[in-house]
Amino acid sequence: MKCQHCEKPATFHITELTDEVPEELHLCEEHARTYLMQADLKEDEVPSIASALAQQLKVNPAAEQLAQLDQQACPLCGITFYEFRHVGRLGCPHDYICFEDELDPIISNIHSATAHVGKQPRGAGEGTDQRTELIRLRREMEQAIQIEDYEKASMLRDKIAGIEEEEKSG
């Protein structure tokens, strides 16, 4: 894909989340930098993923690093950081843990805060980590079915059922 403003390949895919309908931008590195800096400078602008990323670029100006970061994937749901940047939506609860270093400055920029105050679910969410593990198991089971490894699939199914049962009683 080409940059929207020149002939160079678009290596940055930015989703603006300021409106109801997200706007997608495809830009080369140079135009991305210009765009992000502008977005960041606009006063009164509501926080957006783009301006948050601009903050990050300032701290960490190496584009190669961002390209490398884009390849990183969540071990549970499989979403890459590139995909998140592209659509502006995360793939699963575990992404907040596996992309924490990258997300933290973005979150801090959007909310001007990094810690939740207020309501907590019962047990203060203890066990979220164990439960997100089910996302991986279900994904592995589907993959096993796809390659017709039914033995593995049935083993995974039993394991999933076991965890789900435990939960119901717990």
> Which phi and psi angles does 113 have, rounded to 5°?
-160, 160
Exposure string of 135-168, with b = 16+ CB inside 10 Å and e = fewer, is bbeebbbeebeeeeeeeebeebbeebeeeeeeee
* Amino acid in the structure at residue 113: A
Select 21 or 64, whichever has its Cβ closest to another protein.
Answer: 21
Contact with another protein (CB under 8 A): which of 1, 59, 62, 124?
124
Q: Which range, of 3-11, 24-32, 34-42, 86-94, touches another protein by CB under 8 A?
A: 86-94
Piece of the chain touching another protein by CB under 8 A; list 1-9, 62-70, 109-117, 147-155: 109-117
Q: Are 92 and 128 in contact (CB under 8 A)?
A: no
Residue 71 is a binding residue for another protein (CB under 8 A): no
Q: Select the residue interacting with another protein from 4, 65, 68, 114 (CB under 8 A).
A: 114
- With tokens 């930098």, the residue in question is 33
Q: Is 106 in the site for another protein (CB under 8 A)?
A: yes
The footprint of Zn ion (CB under 5 A) covers 3, 5-6, 8, 28, 31, 74, 76-77, 91-92, 94-95
